[in-house]
Amino acid sequence: MASRDGNGWVRCELGHRHWGRFGAAGLLAYVLDGPVLLQQRTWWSHHGGTWGLPGGARDSHEAALAAALREAAEECGVPPGSVRQRGVFTDDHGGWSYTSVLAQAAEPFPVFSDDDESEEVGWVGPGDVGRLDLHPGFGAHWHELRAELSPVTIIVDAANVMGSRPDGWWRDRAGAAVRLKNELVPLAREGITNLPGGMAGSVVTDRDAVPQPPRKDGGSARAASVRSRSPITGYGPPPIFSYGLLDGGDADDAGVGQTRMRWMPEVVLVVEGAARPAAELDADVTQSDAAGAVSVVAAPGSGDDTIARLAAQTTGRRIVVTADRELRQRSTAAGASVAGPSWLLGLL
C-alpha cells in the first residue's frame, strides 16, 4: 500500500492501454443548475491539450472518492470539504476502469492550475462543454454524465413503510421508526444502483450536449477563463487548444466499456406525531450531514401534507416511497416519482 503505487500502464480486456495499474478516477464537481469544473491537460500528457476531469491513477489502497479528491486538490486546488459526493459513474473495460465521482458544490469556488499536469482549469457552463476539445474518454460519456447533474432525494413515508411488514412495529412505533432509520443509513452512505420506473437520468437533447467543432473565436465571450495560478473570476468555456494526448486516458483507443451508475441519495424519513411548528419543519426538509446520514422530519399530525410539500419543494429528482394511493397522486402532481415500500425494502 505504497503512495503512488498505481502509476503505470496496463492493458484492459478490450485491448486498450490505460494509465493506472489499479484503475483511475476523476472528480466531476458541479453546481446545481450551474457550471462544472474542468481541466485542460498539459501539452506533454496523454491527449494533451484536451479538456476533461481532474483525476489520475488510483493507488492500491484508495477508494475512488479519495483518489478523485486527492487528484483534484493536487491539480486544481480543490479545497477540502468543498463538495459533497452525489454519485459514481464507472466505465469498466475489464481489468481496468475509470470512475467519475459526481460531487456537488454550493457555488463555484476558486481553483488554480498546478502548472504541471494542468494547462488551464475553470468552471464551464454545461451547455458550453461540448464546444471544447474534449478528452475522448470524457467526451464519450459527457452526455450521460450531464444527465446525472441533479441530486436524488428519497422521501420515505415512515408509517406506510413500517406498516408494510409484520415485524411487530405496532407494539413500539417509536422504536420501529428508529430501526427503519438505522436501516436507511447504509443506503444513504453507500448508494443505490437502481431507480424506480426508468427514472435514471434525464435525457439531454439540446445541441450543446453533443460535442461541437471548436469555434474560431476560442469560446464564449460571456466569462473569463482561468489562467495558471489565477483565481477564478467567472465561468465559461476557456480558449480551445488541440495538441493531441491525457493522463488517465487510453493510448491506443479510448473505447467504451460497460458503464454503471451509483447514486448517493439524500434520504428523508417523515414520521408522524410530533407537535413542531411548520416553520421549523421548513428549515429541516432535506438537510443531512456530509457523510450521508438520514434526515428525520417530524410531521405535526398527518404526514401526508408534509411529504407532499417536500415533494414539491425539494430540488432535483425526488422519489416518494409510499403505498398510499392519494399520497402517490399528490406526489406525482408535485413532480416527484413514486415507489412502493417493496422497492425500498428490497434495497435494504
Query: How high is the pLDDT of residue 45?
Result: 67
- Give me the tens of pLDDT residue by residue for the chain, a chain 348 residues long: 457 776 778 888 777 777 767 778 899 999 999 999 998 877 666 676 788 898 888 887 888 888 889 988 888 889 888 999 999 998 887 888 888 999 999 999 998 886 577 678 889 999 999 899 888 888 888 999 998 998 899 999 999 999 888 877 778 888 888 889 989 988 888 888 888 875 655 434 333 333 333 333 333 322 333 333 333 334 433 333 322 223 333 344 455 667 788 898 999 999 986 534 444 434 443 344 334 468 888 887 778 999 999 999 998 899 999 999 999 999 999 999 999 999 999 998
The span from the CA of 147 to the CA of 29, in Å, is 14
Is 118 in the same domain as 247? Answer: yes
Residues 131, 215 contacting (CB under 8 angstroms)? yes
Any idea what the CATH number is for the domain that residue 241 is in? 3.90.79.10
Query: How high is the pLDDT of residue 254?
Result: 53
| Total domains in the fold of the chain | 2
What Å distances lie between residue 99 and 84, 153, 195, CA to CA? 16, 22, 20
Query: How high is the pLDDT of residue 46?
Result: 66
Is 221 in the same domain as 175? Answer: no
Domain closes at, from 262, 281, 315: 262
Q: 212: domain range?
A: 9-149+201-262
Task: Give domain status of residue 188, yes or no.
Answer: yes
Task: Give domain status of residue 142, yes or no.
Answer: yes
Is 34 in the same domain as 115? Answer: yes
Domain closes at, from 225, 243, 262: 262
Domain closes at, from 222, 246, 262: 262
Q: The dihedral of CA 205, 209, 213, 215: what is its sign?
A: positive
Task: Give domain status of residue 1, yes or no.
Answer: no
Task: Give domain status of residue 2, yes or no.
Answer: no
Where are the alpha helices (H) located in 191-302, listed in sequence order? 278-282
Task: Give domain status of residue 31, yes or no.
Answer: yes
Cell of 190: 453507500
